[in-house]
Amino acid sequence: MLNPLSSIAKSAVALALLAAPSQAQETPVVQATRTPTPPNIDGRLDDPVWHQAPAIADFFQRDPVEGAPSTEQTQVRILFDDHYLYFALRCFDSEAERLVANQMRRDAELDENDNIQIILDPYNDHRGGFYFSTNPLGARQDLLLTDEGRTRNQAWDSVWQSRTRIDSLGWSAEVAIPFDQVRYPDSDQAVWGINIGRAIRRKNEEVFLVPPPQSYGFMGRYRTSRLAVLTGLGRLQSRPPLAVVPFFLSGTQRDFTVDGSTEYDLDPGLDFKYGLTPSLTLDLSYKTDFAQVEADQEQINLTRFSLFFPEKRDFFLEGAGIFEFGERVERQGSGGRPPTLLFYSRRIGIEEGHNLPVLAGGKLTGRAGPYQIGTLRMTTQAMTFVDEEEEHEAQVDLSEATIVDTLRLHVLDTLHVAQTDFTVLRIKRDMLGRSNLGFIAIDKQPGSEADYNRTGGVDFTLSLLQAALNLRGFAAKTWTPQVEGRDRAGLLELDYRQGRFETRLNYLDVEEDFAPEVGFVPRTDIRRFKGSGRYRPRPAIDWIRMFSIGPRFTYLMDRGNTLQSRDFQFSAFVNLEIGDWFGVRYQQRYELLDEPFEIRDDQEIPPGAYEFGSYEFNLFANSSRRLSGRASCEYGDFFNGTRQRISTETIWRYNARLELEGTYEFNHINLPNGTFNTHLFGHRFLYSFSPDMFVRGFLQWNSAQELVGGNFLFNYRYLPGSDLFLVYNQVWDTEGGLEQASRSLQLKVSYYWQR
């Protein structure tokens, strides 16, 4: 039988050999000018020093007309001194009164506002970079980009300045980015990669110094594959950064499900950052705390497998790109399944839904020549958790007359977790332009030396045709006591993007005992083929910007080649010129159940083979409007029954300060042995006092979990990098009424000191 891995690899090599080299495109060159006097960062652009720098004014569209000149004029000037890189940006607008600006909070998503974007690639290798953005209200967003911008690290938090102003000509911005906030090599004649972009939201227009091709898709604005060149910086000698962030945490928490006692905490902690070299940074943390992290968004699980939740903790998100190993994480709602990952940082400090205190931890991330390096060491505290009481009925004989009564027996479910050390080593070697070869080693070591779990793997990326064609893959193995053999996994993936067309093919092979306990593996003992294709034509119709049409499929067998699951989808979407989307999706599924599927406590779907299909209709309103949202409905067969689903989200931005959001999902499941409904409700509010002060709250109810959760957070960044957080959490149990389950109140104050 032909080995699927070998077949895919041979096909990829053949494509590479047949492909003709693409013609090189002219790369724009922009110049930075040294200034002896720093400009005053106030957004006015009236400082005379700006006239020392030449104006950059050639901007071209990515949307709606690829390559066409911008319909509104933009001018940029760049200065620098020993400590900062400065930008002056003038965004002219013929209808300045129609600027779209409804976000003020730091780190808000600014994509749907008028905004300017700056991407810096200090190594000029197109593999990643630093992203800075601001809007007319002065909101600041920064991202760390890896994998040529395909991966965005939203938790990366740089200390930089920006000020903006709105006037009759449009709006303007001044930006100051400290050199010590970005990693760069020492050089006598520094040459950086750079791109500058602007969004004109009332026209749904995006313009850039170097427009990313439309074939890059919706996230193309973050791509570093094609950049301009920034010169004039001369000799740059970096000084390794040193930052110390002491913090103080005080709080109280109470669990009503056990004994109702109240616990009080008063703990200091320390975060430490030091640049061992200009490109290699050491992060140390003592009493690592995540008090300010928002709770996970509830999900309804109608599958047989675990739900996937994204990481939200800053310590793990900062520099997370180097530790990625496995399948790409698809966008939520894209119709895909959870990924197979060798390293999933949520396995550290979280055990069966319980938060474990992190005693200490450290990271070393960065570059050394052509090598990307990441090491991680964390230690979690030993804990014992007593879960909510489980009630059982028992018939008890109370007398010789055999009088029988019913008593309620309360049983406590106790979870013991040993102190555990986690170690990760990740190295990637850049080669052949934009390709790389790497390996990862992961060790989980609880209290007993005999009770360990280890994972090792190698992976590669082969990037061809200016990153239009990419071949990726990995091979991995786990080591667990008393388990030998059948503990390997492998992946091969091919994706191709050109013009309006893109396609992806994927083969995954996971043996039965492959068990990376610090990873995420939805399913073992499988061979899975997956593929998708997308065609995005742009018709000559005034009110339509783009169609998006294509199939995707999944074919999953066990390793005995028995079909276990098959999923075929075909979807068609329309993007209107006004920014709205609507579309339909058809899905046909096959599922083989070897054992009963308990879809809820009192209902099971019996073993057997099931084939069923459904239709889904979607509408997305342009999120740059004051009132926006989405709606989705699905109906069709579901195993041996039927399912109807309705999902809505409404966002109302009353003004630049106040935002209200409501979400609701309803499922009606009709099976031969009964009918049931699920409800998922969420409400969120956000009020921004300034770009550095906001209050946020949310309330969510999951009928399947019979829980209501609430969260309130106040954040004030009183100095650059220094924060005050006040966090209140409340959980209610809705089984048989509305009873308090737990509540907590925490205050965290941090101070950022930098050399």
Over the stretch 457-489, which tens digit does the pLDDT of each residue have?
999 999 888 778 999 999 999 999 888 888 999
Buried/exposed 173-207: b ≥16 CB within 10 Å, e otherwise: bbbbbbbbbbbbeebeebebbbbbbbbbbebbbbb
Q: What is the DSSP string of 478-547?
A: EEBTTB-SS-EEEEEEEEEEETTEEEEEEEEEE-TT---TTSB-S--SEEEEEEEEEE----S-TTEEEE
pLDDT digits (tens, 9 = 90+) for 238-279: 677 788 999 988 888 887 776 667 778 888 889 898 888 877
pLDDT score recorded for residue 443: 95
CB atoms within 10 A of CB 137: 24
Q: Hey, is 366 helix, strand or coil? A: strand
3-class DSSP state for residue 616? strand
**Per-residue pLDDT, 414:** 72
pLDDT at 525: 93
Residue 64, preceding peptide bond in cis (omega within 30° of 0): yes
Q: Per the structure block, which two tokens stand in for 733?
A: 């149990």
* pLDDT tens for each residue of 580-624: 999 999 999 999 999 998 888 788 899 999 999 999 999 999 988
DSSP string, 694-748: EEEEEEEEETTTTEEEEEEEEEEEEETTEEEEEEEEEEEE-TTS-EEEEEEEEEE
DSSP state of 59: -
* Residue 493 vs residues 147, 335, 506, 507, 564: alpha-carbon distances, Å: 15, 18, 4, 6, 21
Q: Is 279 helix (H, G, I), strand (E, B) or coil?
A: coil
Of 317-321, 483-487, 647-651, highest mean pLDDT: 647-651
pLDDT digits (tens, 9 = 90+) for 106-121: 888 898 899 999 999 9
Alpha-carbon distance of 320 to 345, in angstroms, equals: 9
Separation CA 458–CA 41 (nearest Å) = 47
Domains, in order of start, for the chain: 4-19+27-231 (2.60.40.1190), 531-704 (no CATH)
User: Bigger pLDDT: 19 or 688?
Assistant: 688
Tokens of 22: 């693409």
Residue 288 pairs in a beta bridge with 358
pLDDT at 718 over 80: yes
pLDDT given at position 258 = 66
Nearest to 375 by CA among 386, 365, 385, 390: 365
Is residue 281 pLDDT above 70, yes or no? Answer: yes
Give the per-residue pLDDT at 533.
95
Average pLDDT over residues 183-209: 89
pLDDT at 19: 36
Q: Name the nearest CA neighbour of 221 among 208, 235, 234, 239.
A: 208
Say what the pLDDT of residue 406 is. Answer: 39
Of the candidates 571, 618, 547, 625, the residue with the CA atom closest to the CA atom of residue 214: 547
Please compute the mean of the pLDDT values over residues 485-501 and round it to a whole number: 92
